[in-house]
Amino acid sequence: MKKIPKRTCIVCRSKLEKNEFFRIVRDENKDVIFDKTLKANGRGAYCCKNDACVDKLSKVKIVNNALKTDIQSEDIKSVIEEMKIELKKK
């Protein structure tokens, strides 16, 4: 049987399959975007689909470390808002 690679939440370090997570990507402008398709180009990181982990993305140090970038907390605000909208859909 083929082994499915596990991804790690950058906030709480939980390991899950890729499609169980929200994905964020550092784009070519070094901005961080919410990758709803899970396959955007660029360096990616994963976050649990829950309020606790999504809220902690506002501590941008976690994001900056994971994506080797240097964004400010206001740069991640719209990403967090988009994730919250997705969470409410369920």
Can you give the binding site for Zn ion, defined by CB under 5 A? 9, 11-12, 14, 48, 53
Least Å distance, CB 2 to Zn ion, is: 25
Determine the Cα–Cα distance for residues 59 and 25; give it in Å rounded to an integer: 16
Closer residue to Zn ion, CB minimum distance, 2 or 13? 13
Which backbone phi and psi does 69 adopt, to 5 degrees? -135, -170
In terms of CB distance, is 11 or 25 closer to Zn ion?
11
HSE-up (13 A, CA, CB side) for residue 82: 13
Other C-beta atoms lying within 10 Å of the C-beta of residue 72: 9
Measured from the CB atom, the residue of 25 and 53 that comes closer to Zn ion is 53
